[in-house]
Structure 1
Amino acid sequence: MRLSAKRVGALSTRHVKHLRHACQDLIDDLGLPPEFTVPLVAERLGERRGRPIVLAPLELGAGSLYGLWLATATADVIAYESRTTRLHQHHIIAHELAHIIHGHHGSHLDGDSSDLYRLFPDLDPALVRGALARSTYADHQEREAETMASLLLMAASRRPPAQPERTAPEAAGLLARLEHSLGRTGRGPG
């Protein structure tokens, strides 16, 4: 049976909606405060996992490699490109955090890890249990990580509505006189 383009598009839309809802549920489970930063997510996630998440700005210089998650026996290290904008850095960190939140697994360094050792020549391979570097967006794990990273960044950039300022008692009299002189009686514009 052949699917029409319209049907394929509908499946894709449903898949995207499901992916966004699943990612949002995982974010909600983190119990983040209304105002948070991406580094706070790393701190909270590290506390929850019982192992620190170390954020390491580095000059990765590996072409399209902007971020990388290294899992060692005692900590998770998120290396991110230091020579990019702060917003891009936060996106990279959020992307790698999303891999951790989703429980994605990378290679266990049994294959070709020459790029890893070129970037970290002093790294003892015995210390690294796994490494996960961004590959392509077509990969299922990458779609999950990109979706969650975008949701995290949107939530981190939101600010709760400003609370109305209270008038200090010493300014209340002055404010009342100003309102009176402008013809306002507290019933709206005069």
Structure 2
Amino acid sequence: MRSERALRALCRKELRGLDLDLPLDAEQLCRRYGERRGRPINVMPYPLPSGMPNGVWLAAGDGDYFFCQSNTTPLHRNQIIVHEFGHLIAGHQMLGQLDATALLAPDPDDADAALARTCYSDEREWEAEMLASIIVGWAAEAGGAVDRTVDDEGLRRIQRLLGGHGGWM
């Protein structure tokens, strides 16, 4: 298991130069990271059945898909997406093959079977949650450091002056 220090270093390396706006928008994070690496990350809000995780990462041939619970608050959805992003940047791999139709199937037995083949170890869940917490925490600190009376364009100028978000990582 990687230390918190190693996870912070991984975040700095992977997020450097993405020129993200504040407040943090998880979908913008995914879009910019996907563009940089030449493989899109598609965020798919979906009313996932109860008893299932709130988010699932599916690596497909044409890109990555983050299925996230649509029946939740925007803040919670952002956290779910950033958690799945944490799995991705940590290099976690899903176990076995996942059939997206089984995941989203109305038959709970089919969905349970699909998820059973995609479980992460507790260590990987801890890493993904720590990465998400680091990213969200950095964004909150950066946002709190900027005077709230500055308009959106002024905020973007200040961010770019600081080197994108290199200054808040």
Tell me the alpha carbon deviations over residues 69-109 of structure 1, each in whole angstroms, 9 at most, x when there is no partner.
11111111110001112111111100111111122111231
Match of 1:18 in 2: 5
Letter in 2 for 1:147: M
Give the alignment's TM-score, normalised by structure 1. Answer: 0.59
TM-fit CA distance, 1:54 = 0.9
Tell me the alpha carbon deviations over residues 125-168 of structure 1, each in whole angstroms, 9 at most, x when there is no partner.
xxxxxxx95646xx222121111111122233342422887xxx
Q: Which runs of 5+ in 2 are unaligned?
A: 107-116, 151-169
Letter in 1 for 2:104: L
Asked if 1:119 corresponds to 2:107, the answer is no
Closer, same or farther: CA 155–134 of 1 in aligned 2, 3 Å: farther
Asked if 1:86 corresponds to 2:71, the answer is no
Asked if 1:55 corresponds to 2:82, the answer is no
Closer, same or farther: CA 154–18 of 1 in aligned 2, 3 Å: closer
User: Which structure's CA Rg is the greater one?
Assistant: 1
Match of 1:103 in 2: 91
Distance of 1:118 and 1:64 partners within structure 2: 9
Match of 1:153 in 2: 136
Closer, same or farther: CA 156–133 of 1 in aligned 2, 3 Å: farther
Identity of aligned residues (%): 30
Give the alignment's TM-score, normalised by structure 2. Answer: 0.66
Preserved contact between residue 65 and residue 134 of structure 1 (Cα < 8 Å): no
TM-fit CA distance, 1:20 = 4.3
Higher relative contact order (CA 8 A, sep 6+): 2
Q: Which runs of 5+ in 1 are unaligned?
A: 1-11, 122-131, 166-190
Distance of 2:51 and 2:147 partners within structure 1: 43
* Runs of 4+ deviating beyond 6 Å: none
Closer, same or farther: CA 62–164 of 1 in aligned 2, 3 Å: closer
Aligned residues: 138
Preserved contact between residue 27 and residue 152 of structure 1 (Cα < 8 Å): no
Letter in 2 for 1:141: R
Between Structure 1 and Structure 2, which shows a larger proportion of helix residues?
2
Tell me the alpha carbon deviations over residues 152-190 of structure 1, each in whole angstroms, 9 at most, x when there is no partner.
22233342422887xxxxxxxxxxxxxxxxxxxxxxxxx
What secondary structure is seen at the aligned counterpart in 2 of 1:91? helix
Aligned-CA RMSD value: 3.2
